[in-house]
Structure 1
């Protein structure tokens, strides 16, 4: 069972990173009806992957791996968890923007996003990707028993 949950955890993590990369590429390109719809779908996939990653990760901590006491005494784990929460909170900014496009997309129109909002959303997604790199570093440190 532990192997299954490790697999699901990694699957969700790779899905999350892929969705972030797709969002980053799409928001930097020309906004079209198609790319706006893809951004909304990709953001939904990102949200589902993040939620599943958190639930599966916590199940691994409490039920399948070394136990909560081990993880909650690990600075690498606590840093990883804190950064995951920060990424989750940051992701609200692009999600709210993408959801605001529903009316325009239903009407078959390309949503408008001014340059300032686009820069903000792009910067947030870039920040999320950077935080994921630090999360991966923390995971590697944890795997080696560091920062305990």
Structure 2
């Protein structure tokens, strides 16, 4: 019982951290961030990535070792949709993450990163789409947990 509760806590905490980091990126990202903003965006993106890994690991622990059992989840179409949306969200995060990682050299050299207008627009758009997909993930989780589609 305690293990199940801890897995659920890690799953939820990771989900909240992921969303918080992504919202921070969305609100802070500009075409010409200050050095401090760039550092914070990089840190938020690292939190986003670590949270995604923790969310996935805790989620699969819950599927295979706790909750309703893997047969229940794998038979539910909303579980499959939830995983698909999670994977797509992760793929959409690659471009912004690569941009943010490219800032490390500039920041280490004492400079300030600059995004070209197209780079900024694309990164901002991808972050917004990820946030929308997360809403879909949460909806799928609720439907799945309540047996809809089973």
Identify the residue that residue 117 of structure 1 maps to in structure 2: 119
Identify the residue that residue 141 of structure 2 maps to in structure 1: 139
Identify the residue that residue 63 of structure 1 maps to in structure 2: 65
RMSD across aligned positions (CA): 1.1
Shift of 1:135: 0.5
Identify the residue that residue 87 of structure 1 maps to in structure 2: 89
Distance in structure 1 (CA, Å) of the matches to 2:32 and 2:112: 10
Gaps of 5+ in 1: none
- In the TM superposition, 1:15-94 aligns within 5 A as 15-28=17-30, 31-94=33-96
Larger displacement relative to structure 2 (125-134 or 137-146)? 137-146
Give TM-score, length-normalised by structure 1: 0.97
Shift of 1:147: 1.4
Distance in structure 2 (CA, Å) of the matches to 1:7 and 1:106: 37
Distance in structure 2 (CA, Å) of the matches to 1:29 and 1:70: 46
Distance in structure 2 (CA, Å) of the matches to 1:24 and 1:30: 14
Gaps of 5+ in 2: none
Shift of 1:70: 0.9
Distance in structure 2 (CA, Å) of the matches to 1:102 and 1:29: 16
Would you identify which runs of 4 or more consecutive aligned residues in structure 1 move more than 3 Å?
Answer: none
Count of residues paired in the alignment? 148
Aligned 8 A contact 2:35 2:111 in 1: yes
Give per-residue Cα distances to partners, 1:64-99, cap 9 Å, x unaligned: 111111101101111001100111111111110001
Give per-residue Cα distances to partners, 1:42-63, cap 9 Å, x unaligned: 0000000000100110011001
Shift of 1:4: 1.2
Aligned 8 A contact 2:32 2:115 in 1: no
Give TM-score, length-normalised by structure 2: 0.95
